[in-house]
Amino acid sequence: MRFDILTILPDLLTGPFSNSIMKRAQEKGHLDIHLHNIRDYSTNKQKSVDDYQYGGGAGMVMSIEPIASLIEKLNADRTYDEIIYMTPDGELLEQGLCNDLSLQGNIMILCGHYKGVDERIREHYITKEISIGSYVLSGGELGAAVLVDSVARLIPGVLNDETSALTDSFQDGLLSPPVYTRPPSFNGWEVPEILLSGDFGKIEKWREERAIERTEARRPDLLNE
Ligand code: ADE
């Protein structure tokens, strides 16, 4: 799966993709991430990427020309399944959307800044607008990192058995049950007996009950979907 990320701050995105699972996914050829600096497509002397907003008001707006010419260039090279704009007024990113996107081949992601991008970019190029939560970030880059990570880990082969996505929270509409590792006792705090029992039928049932209990307590909205 290929991601092309359009940003004015590519350095913000190198860290999240050069460690751990995302790094291995690229090394194994499951994931191909390309960062594009929008500023490289600015044609004026100052290499500016923003301008004052028409009608007045505080805050700059990302200009249409550099973004349009970068999108046109990428569109000429290959077909994109989605051109996504990261924005706080987009569709909320949830596991179902991650699952759907993980079935795609080529995805372009535009990271916004300042007051956002010129609306004509959204009208004429963007196919999906995504928010990672009901709060405002300084830019779309951190959102793009969250999106790519949550989608890429679902690509077959990216995770091994131990890190399998099938037992993740949300994947079955429930939060995950609590987990424990050695030692069995710490400061008098005990691991639940049943997990040490070796009775896998009972352990499975216990996990399911705890998952339901935790979901009822923390995210009852998931049970009503
Ligand atoms: N850009 C700024 N805030 C954002 C958010 N909450 N989600 C996605 N992109 C954003």
- For the cut 70, the answer to whether the pLDDT of residue 53 exceeds it is yes
Q: Give the model's pLDDT for residue 163.
A: 62
- The residue contributing the CA closest to ligand 1 atom 6 is 88
Which string of b and e fits 31-65 if b means at least 16 CB within 10 Å?
A: bebebbbbeebbeeeeeebbeeeeeeeeeebbbbe
pTM of the prediction? 0.95
Determine if ligand 1 sits within 6 Å of the CB of residue 133.
yes
Domain assignment of residue 208, yes or no: yes
Question: Are residues 29 and 66 part of one domain?
Answer: yes
Question: Are residues 107 and 140 part of one domain?
Answer: yes
Q: Give the model's pLDDT for residue 167.
A: 77
Give me the domain span that covers residue 105: 2-152
Domain assignment of residue 78, yes or no: yes
CB 96 within 8 A of CB 90: no
Question: Are residues 61 and 117 part of one domain?
Answer: yes
Question: Are residues 182 and 127 part of one domain?
Answer: no
- The residue contributing the CA closest to ligand 1 atom 4 is 88
Tell me the per-residue pLDDT of 146-202, one tens digit each, with 9 for 90 and over: 999 999 999 999 998 766 777 788 888 999 999 999 999 999 999 999 999 999 999
Determine if ligand 1 sits within 6 Å of the CB of residue 136.
yes
Determine if ligand 1 sits within 6 Å of the CB of residue 131.
yes
